[in-house]
Structures are given as structure tokens and as C-alpha cells.
Chain A
Amino acid sequence: MEPLTNRIEHVSRKQMSFWEKIYLPAVLKGMGITFRHMFKKPPTIKYPEKKRVFSPVFRGLQILNRDAEGRENCTACGLCAVACPAEAITMEAAERKAGEEHLYREEKYAAKYEINMLRCIFCGLCEEACPKDAVYLSETVAQANFARKGFIYGKEDLLIPHPLKDPEAFAKAKGSRIKHPEGHGNEH
């Protein structure tokens, strides 16, 4: 029959030779290979003690950024929610009252800001969409959880630690991904 494609692999139906039939040479050769592997250094990284460094383009859990005085950057404009292809972000806006200037940078802020980490695909489009330098993808991964609702991260989970009260935690949460803290993360 004429073959339909040119991708046919012809199976060899050759009888085994005597040396192949007695198996032992091949077995011994294989044993030599496995024995050599015993002395190779395993590439394992022992995880909880040693952690592999994330690559500079790693996209992990989102953080909600604060400015240098510790005020929240987010103005609840909703651009991130619009940009999100997985529709993982929901938010509710509220107006800043008098006396809350040290908490929020602009007149409007997000009273509720939730990201469903089961929907999130960590594409980073929210980070690109944000005009206020408020959403970043950090260098952490989502913790395991027993319940689905544990994966809906609210503002208390996402908000970065206060830069003045806890500068170390702030720097750690921010990570090395954000090259220009004052500008936009992707500007180069």
C-alpha cells in the first residue's frame, strides 16, 4: 500500500544475535552504566534548608505597594481588574476621609481588594496595567491551603509591610524584582 505520509518509521524485525540472546553482555554493560552513576553528584537542592534563587523574571504572588512614607498607592481605579485575563481581581473603592492622609496617598483608595489565587495565572498584566505603581508580582509563591476560601487573598494578605515601621520585612516583600521603586517596574 502506498504510504500516506513520508513520516513512517520502519520497525526492525531482525532476529537477535547470539550475544544479544544470552542477555548477559547487555546486562553487564547496563550495570556498568548504573555503577558509574553512583559516584555522580546529585543535582538535588534540599528544599526547606536551601532555596533556589528565583530568576529575575519570576512572577509570584501579588503585593499591594506603599510609598516611602507608608501610604497605600492603590486608588482603586480598577485597571488591573480590567486587564486581568483570568478575572481574578475584585475591589471596592472608598473615599479618603480627613485625617487619613497618612494612610492613603490619594483621595480614593481600595476599601476591599481581593485576588483569587486559584484563578490567577500570574501573567503580570495587572502589574503592567497599574498607573499608580501599586501592584507588583513578588518573589513568593502561594501557600498550600486546605480550603478554597484560603486562596482568596484580601487586602491584609496582599499589603506590603510598612516601610518605616518594619523596613526589613518591607524590603523582603518587595524583593529584587522592582528595579526602580519610584517608577514603574517595567520601565527598562
Chain B
Amino acid sequence: MLIHTTFLVLDGAVLIEKLILIVLVITGSLVVAMYSTYAERKVAAFMQDRIGPDRAGPFGILQPLADGVKLFFKEEIVPTFSSKFLFILGPCLAMLTAMMVGAVIPWGDTIHVFGRNVSLQIADINIGILYIFGVVSLGVYGIMIGGWASNNKFSLLGAMRAASQIISYELAMGISIIALLMFTGTLSLNEMVNQQKDHWWNIFRQPLGFLIFLVCAFAETNRTPFDLPEAENELIGGYHSEYSSMKLGFYLFSEYINMFLSSAVMVTLFFGGYDIPFVNDAHLGQSIGVNWLALIEGAVLFAKICCFIFLFMWVRWTVPRFRYDQLMNLGWKVLLPLSLLNMLVTGALILLKQNHWHF
């Protein structure tokens, strides 16, 4: 009944345009994730005075394709002692939850095609951030289920580490976002970008909040220095040590998609989303047309995201892994109080401003 009425409200064209947008976003994230693996290897190589992959195609551009083909043709081993259904479900869930974040991110302003205004956001839901938090916390299930189904002590340890790490850091992340929500007054990501277009970017209003969010994003995506769930030298790969072939590929891939989309979230929340810096977007749109504007905005957003992906890699190849007690200390004893403090200070300032107190 509910579905029936929903379809009555949506007309066919909306369905088609959303479908096209979904396909574009998913292929986009897949391609970006693919080339992130290449970029990761290249960045690592440059930072270690090496050359990196340069054999497949010019400058090794085709390396990700070769890696993908290799993963597809590898023997697929399902351990006899594993529970098969969960073993296959694990990587599927990891991939699914990684992809789902892309649905609420505004990829650009509204464009005008075939006489219709098309929003470049799959779903402009008014609880965008809550949705992201929900999906990101679901992401731990992929890792947990995979580690549990492998029936291997190292996988289980990795999965347990992942679960406790993600839960610990989600708290600080959530509270750092609350401070942001208090003065933006909205949970919709599109609305947030619109606010940042006219005023300062949120990074200048919430520097501490951004720092906490950044550190937590590193922990949530299991990137170094918080990559304890897959610590190669102590857990032989952690939760994915029993995985092979494309199931392993899915896990590795979901990490890069997570990285891409959490960069997109950070850009949207703190760095003005698709806002073109130093330019009044509305004026530019009047002079060159809405569609060109959306294209430039998309490119700007992508450039910002690329900077963040580079930051992820830069940190990975600089900082060694934390010890587990250090990780927990940082999460509970440093980031959580800091984010609470940030929230209190922000709240106090908003209160002062609302009551027109000047000092």
C-alpha cells in the first residue's frame, strides 16, 4: 500500500532521472575507488623514493584493470569450516554499505535538461547526516560477519577490533557533528551546502569539530594509523585473511569507496561541498548558464575530494599504526571530551548571539 502511493506521487521521468543518477554515482565511485588503488601505490612510491607501477599502459594507467582481472581469475576458496552463507554475505554487506552513503551527497547544483530541473543529488532527504551515520554504523556488520564467518581466530580478532574501534569513534564523531548541526540548524546536506555558499565555509567556524571529525573518519574507514582490524603483521590481514578472489577484492574495494565517500562527506560538511571558492556561484550561473555551472561545481567538488583522498594516503604512508590501548585512549579520553567541550562552547556562543549579548 505504502509503495503503491509512493509510485503515484513520483512520475516516470523522476524515476528515470534518479535511475541514471544512481548508475552514474555508483560507476563513479567504483572508478574512483579503482584509481584510488593506483593513486595509493603511486603516492606510496613517490614518498618512498620509488617509481611505483609503470608497466601496464603509459605510467601504469591500466594497472587497476590488471589488478581487477587478476582478482577475478584467482581461485575462490571458501574454507570448509566457515559458515558459507555468512562468508559470502560479509563482503556483499561491506560493499553495499560503502555504496549507500553516496545517495545523499549533493554532487552539484540543479541542472536544466529537456525542460526539467534535475537535482544532482539522488535523495535530498532532510535527515541526510543521520542517514549517513546509520549507514556508516551498518558498515561494521560487513567486517564483523566476514570475520566471524571465517572461523579463524585472527579474523575474529580483527573483526572484534573493528567493531570496538568503530563504535568508540562513532561517538566522538557524532558529538562533533552535533556542534555543527547546532549552528547550521539543518540535517539536510543540500541545505548545508547552500548555507556555506553565502557565508564562510564551516571549517572556519568549527575547526576543532573538523579535526575531531577527520580523525574519526580515519578510524571509521580503517585507514592507517587506525588500521588495526587488518594489521598485516600481527593478524595476517585481520578480518579478510580467509578471503580470496573477488570477495577479497570487495573488501579492499569497499575500503577505497569508504575513503572516497567519507572525503565527500567531509567536503560537504566542512569545505562548502560543490561551492566554487572565491566566486559567487549564482552570478556565475547567470552568465554561463546553469548546466555549465553544475559541471564546474562538480569538478570543484571532485578536486576537493581528491585533496582529501590524497590526505588519507599521505597520512597512511607517514604515520605508523597505533597500539590498541593508545587507540582506545585517544578515542575515549581525548576525542570524546574534546568533542563534548566543542559542543558546549558552540552552544554557549549560539546562546550568547541569540540573546544579543555583546562582549
Closest CB of chain B to A90's CB: distance in Å?
41
Question: Could you tell me if A31 and B50 are in contact, using CB atoms closer than 8 angstroms?
Answer: no
Question: Could you tell me if B51 and A42 are in contact, using CB atoms closer than 8 angstroms?
Answer: yes
Closest CB of chain A to B204's CB: distance in Å?
19
A19 at the interface (CB under 8 A from B): no
Question: Could you tell me if B50 and A34 are in contact, using CB atoms closer than 8 angstroms?
Answer: no
Chain B residues whose C-beta falls within 8 Å of the C-beta of A31 in the assembled complex: 314-315, 318
- Alpha-carbon separation in the docked complex, A31 to B312 (Å): 11
Closest CB of chain A to B40's CB: distance in Å?
14
Closest CB of chain A to B176's CB: distance in Å?
16
Question: Could you tell me if A37 and B315 are in contact, using CB atoms closer than 8 angstroms?
Answer: no
Question: Could you tell me if A27 and B51 are in contact, using CB atoms closer than 8 angstroms?
Answer: no
Chain B residues whose C-beta falls within 8 Å of the C-beta of A30 in the assembled complex: 318-319
- Alpha-carbon separation in the docked complex, A46 to B314 (Å): 25
Question: Could you tell me if B49 and A27 are in contact, using CB atoms closer than 8 angstroms?
Answer: no
Chain B residues whose C-beta falls within 8 Å of the C-beta of A34 in the assembled complex: 47, 314, 317-318
Question: Could you tell me if A27 and B50 are in contact, using CB atoms closer than 8 angstroms?
Answer: no
Contact of A27 among B54, B317, B319 (CB under 8 A): B319
- Alpha-carbon separation in the docked complex, A30 to B225 (Å): 13
Question: Could you tell me if A37 and B49 are in contact, using CB atoms closer than 8 angstroms?
Answer: yes
Chain A residues whose C-beta falls within 8 Å of the C-beta of B45 in the assembled complex: 42
Given A27-B319, A30-B318, A30-B319, do A38 and B50 touch, yes or no (CB 8 Å)?
A: no
Q: A34-B47, A35-B314, A38-B46 are in contact. List 19 more A-B contacts (CB 8 A).
A: A22-B334, A23-B330, A27-B315, A27-B318, A27-B319, A30-B318, A31-B314, A31-B315, A33-B318, A37-B46, A37-B48, A37-B49, A40-B49, A41-B49, A42-B45, A42-B51, A43-B49, A44-B50, A44-B51
25 A-B residue pairings within 8 Å (CB atoms): A22-B334, A27-B318, A27-B319, A30-B318, A30-B319, A31-B314, A33-B318, A34-B47, A34-B318, A35-B47, A35-B314, A37-B47, A37-B49, A38-B46, A40-B49, A41-B49, A42-B45, A42-B46, A42-B49, A42-B50, A42-B51, A43-B49, A44-B50, A46-B51, A46-B54
